[in-house]
């Protein structure tokens, strides 16, 4: 851990009264959130509700106009960039690759915050990068160029880079949006293991069923504000979801796993339900 002063009860990452506004008018207002070591917290909400903006504020890419962020007990605004990177690994929603890097090189970038000065990567860094790729089912891609990969392959490599960074706090912005079923489960299994091992994870998700299975708590944003927050099952309710997303959902329990199942209702399903209701005496 980067900071031994932070006990399990303290928030590893906390935002208080966070506000930010783009010239477009979009942004976030008055957002309070905390993520503790050992937790996977889901950040949910419709398109444009401010999830990625919050990720940028919590990682120091954007400076809030109101409120502040604490990372492992320290004010984020006062931490040097390299120290932030030792404490916090980010999987952005749309990672940019300005240079035609190789896959292994890309993952090794995750080791850079740990290198002293202009030092080159060591054998240990290389071993960590390869191990991270292996954990993401992407070791066979190590010698490929990052810009030649499929969207899902690239997404696994970006997650591997975050793993190689060995930061105690992880911020994941839709890390599985391009992954097939198997890799979605594997990515969130890895994420759960990281949290169980003492990391703090905040993950933006659109898949509410994955959120229901993997998140200890969720924060539901709408219109740049927290619409609801709390324990996952208590927060992913019909009322909260229908209000936040503006569409009808059906919420049930999975008999097998005990997790909530959220099914969006198509126009056809809604019409069928309405017809059934009107036929009832």
Ligand X SMILES: Nc1ncnc2c1ncn2[C@@H]1O[C@H](COP(=O)(O)OP(=O)(O)OP(=O)(O)O)[C@@H](O)[C@H]1O
Q: Shortest distance, CB of residue 65 to ligand X, whole angstroms?
A: 14
Q: Shortest distance, CB of residue 53 to ligand X, whole angstroms?
A: 3
Nearer to ligand X by C-beta: 49 or 240?
49
Nearer to ligand X by C-beta: 55 or 72?
55
Could you tell which of ligand X, Mg ion, none binds residue 22, using a CB distance below 5 to 8 A set by kind? ligand X
Could you tell which of Mg ion, ligand X, none binds residue 191, using a CB distance below 5 to 8 A set by kind? none
Could you tell which of ligand X, Mg ion, none binds residue 135, using a CB distance below 5 to 8 A set by kind? none
52 binds Mg ion per the rule CB under 5 A: yes
Nearer to ligand X by C-beta: 47 or 278?
47
Q: Shortest distance, CB of residue 164 to Mg ion, whole angstroms?
A: 24
What is the DSSP secondary-structure string of the chain? ---TT--TTSEEEEEEEEEEE-TTS-EEEEEEEEEETT-EEEEE--TTSSHHHHHHHHTTSS--SEEEEEETTEEGGGS-HHHHHHHEEEE-SS----S--BHHHHHHGGGGGGS-TTPPP-HHHHHHHHHHHHHTT-GGGTTSBGGGS-HHHHHHHHHHHHHHTT-SEEEEESTTTT--HHHHHHHHHHHHHHHHTT-EEEEE-S-HHHHHHH-SEEEEEETTEEEEEEEHHHHS-HHHHHHHHSS-EEEEE-TTT--EEEEEPPHHHHHHHHHHHHH--
Residues that bind ligand X (CB under 6 A): 22, 24, 26-27, 45, 47-53, 93
Counting residues that bind Mg ion (by CB under 5 A) gives 3
Q: Shortest distance, CB of residue 224 to ligand X, whole angstroms?
A: 7
Could you tell which of ligand X, Mg ion, none binds residue 47, using a CB distance below 5 to 8 A set by kind? ligand X
Nearer to Mg ion by C-beta: 93 or 209?
93
Could you tell which of Mg ion, ligand X, none binds residue 113, using a CB distance below 5 to 8 A set by kind? none
Could you tell which of Mg ion, ligand X, none binds residue 26, using a CB distance below 5 to 8 A set by kind? ligand X
Q: Shortest distance, CB of residue 152 to ligand X, whole angstroms?
A: 18
Q: Shortest distance, CB of residue 62 to ligand X, whole angstroms?
A: 9
With b for 16 or more beta-carbon neighbours within 10 A and e for fewer, the 108-123 pattern comes to bebbebbeeeeeebee
209 binds Mg ion per the rule CB under 5 A: no
Residues 6+ apart with CB under 8 A from 15: 31, 32, 33, 34, 54, 57, 58, 64, 67, 68, 69, 70
Nearer to ligand X by C-beta: 125 or 173?
173
Q: Shortest distance, CB of residue 25 to ligand X, whole angstroms?
A: 7
Residues 6+ apart with CB under 8 A from 175: 91, 155, 158, 159, 187, 191, 203
Q: Give the x-and-dash track for 86-115 against Mg ion (CB under 5 A).
A: -------x----------------------
Q: Which residues bind Mg ion (CB under 5 A)?
A: 51-52, 93
């Amino acid at each position: 851990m980067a900071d031994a002063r932070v006990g399990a009860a303290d928030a590893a990452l906390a935002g208080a009264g966070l506000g930010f506004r783009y010239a477009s008018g979009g942004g976030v207002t008055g957002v309070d959130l905390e993520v503790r070591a050992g937790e996977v917290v889901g950040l949910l909400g419709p398109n444009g509700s401010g999830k990625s903006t919050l990720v940028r504020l919590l990682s120091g890419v954007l400076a809030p106009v109101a409120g502040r962020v604490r990372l492992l007990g320290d004010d984020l605004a006062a931490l040097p960039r390299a120290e932030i990177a030792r404490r916090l690994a980010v999987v952005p929603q749309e990672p940019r690759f300005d240079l035609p890097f190789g896959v292994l090189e890309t993952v090794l970038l995750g080791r850079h915050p740990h290198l002293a000065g202009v030092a080159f990567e060591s054998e240990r860094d290389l071993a960590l990068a390869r191990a991270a790729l292996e954990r993401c089912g992407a070791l066979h891609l190590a010698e490929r160029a990052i810009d030649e990969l499929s969207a899902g392959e690239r997404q696994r490599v970006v997650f591997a880079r975050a793993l190689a960074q060995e930061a105690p706090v992880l911020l994941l912005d839709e890390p599985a949006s391009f992954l097939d079923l198997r890799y979605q489960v594997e990515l969130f299994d890895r994420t759960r293991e990281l949290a169980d091992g003492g990391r703090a994870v905040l993950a933006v998700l659109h898949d509410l069923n994955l959120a229901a299975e993997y998140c200890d708590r969720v924060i539901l944003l709408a219109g740049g504000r927290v619409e609801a927050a709390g324990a996952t099952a208590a927060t992913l309710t019909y009322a909260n979801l229908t209000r936040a997303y503006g569409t009808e959902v059906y919420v049930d329990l999975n008999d097998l796993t005990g997790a909530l199942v959220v099914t969006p209702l198509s126009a056809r399903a809604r019409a069928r339900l309405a017809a059934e209701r009107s036929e009832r005496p």
